[in-house]
Amino acid sequence: MLTFYLFSGSDVYNNTYAGLNTNKTFKDLELHPGTRYYITVTAINSIHRRRTAHSDGFVIDTDNPVEGIVFNTKNHVDERGQSARETFNISWHGFIDHSSGVKSYHVALIDVETMQTPVNFVYVALKTMHTFKNASLSHGHKYIGLVKAEDAAGHFSKIIHSTPKLIDLSPPTGYTCARHSLSYDKELSISTYTVTEFSSLFTKNVPYTIIGVLSNVNTDVSIRIGRLNSPLALIRNHNGTSAFKYEFTLPGDFKDIFYLEFDVKHIQTNISVGLFECMDITETRDGVVIVSQVSKSTFIVSVNVFDPESGIKRVK
């Protein structure tokens, strides 16, 4: 016959008689964060035979989990946009808790345009990827995924958000420009390798055209805009001069600088360059592919297409 229980803890709490109670609350303790503690229970019967058992250890955790990184795809990379309306994927890694460990994650999806509150988080256990289904995402809006980690002690990490991703439900479109306006021009006279700088205020998604005329056909020309560095093909005119043309759009409203590099073959060369802004743009499917012959075996193919939402990724 069992007569009483004896709770003991040699470092923190002295042996305590508990009678036949099967639970015990320890009060006025001075427990240290990050330290693991154990409980020992000894059962003693009427003839003083005893059996001792030990609890699993527990850690005093007073810290929040450390936040990680959140991505706007399921593959731990970021993308600028997507064409799906009903689903949105996020993934994450790097959330840790040094004391009691991460117990679960909670995720949410919000529209950057509206930033609705309160935010409704979804429990996803210990998964590190989640798909929001039946999301009814809005065209032209940007969305971010939110993640917070919870540890075994009930503490939450800071809420971390992904990079915004644009919802683009429309395909790229072709265009023609009926009227251009001269924004900037420059005259050069050079005989050696020269780099010249052009600075202008550009408007988002407006087509711009750079046109140049050279008196010397034996010149190599290239353009540099940001990280783009591209050679430009020269077309020989009937009057003995040569010309180049480059069309582009930019993803935002900002002042930018582009550079033209002229590699002249030791001949005095006069160059006239102009930057033109399209003032009358028409969306169309016709006449957007322009082919120009440079030589007997070389053609230049220009495709006038743009995408106001997410931009052009590649042209096939």
Which residue segments constitute the domains of the chain, with CATH numbers given?
2-59 (no CATH), 69-167 (2.60.40.10), 173-306 (2.60.120)
At 206 the pLDDT is 87
pLDDT value of position 57: 78
pLDDT the model gives residue 52: 84
Q: In this structure, what are the phi and psi dihedrals at residue 275, rounded to the nearest 5 degrees?
A: -105, 125
Specify the pLDDT at position 302. 82
Burial class of 162 by CB neighbour count within 10 A (0 to 12, 13 to 18, 19+): buried
Ramachandran area for residue 152 (φ above 0: left; ψ -120 to 50: alpha; else beta)? alpha
CA distance 222 to 224: 7
Across the chain, which has 316 residues, the per-10-residue mean pLDDT values are 54 75 81 81 83 82 93 96 95 94 96 87 97 94 97 95 95 88 90 87 86 87 84 85 87 77 86 92 85 78 82 78
Q: Which pLDDT score, from 0 to 100, does residue 7 have?
A: 55
Reported pTM: 0.67
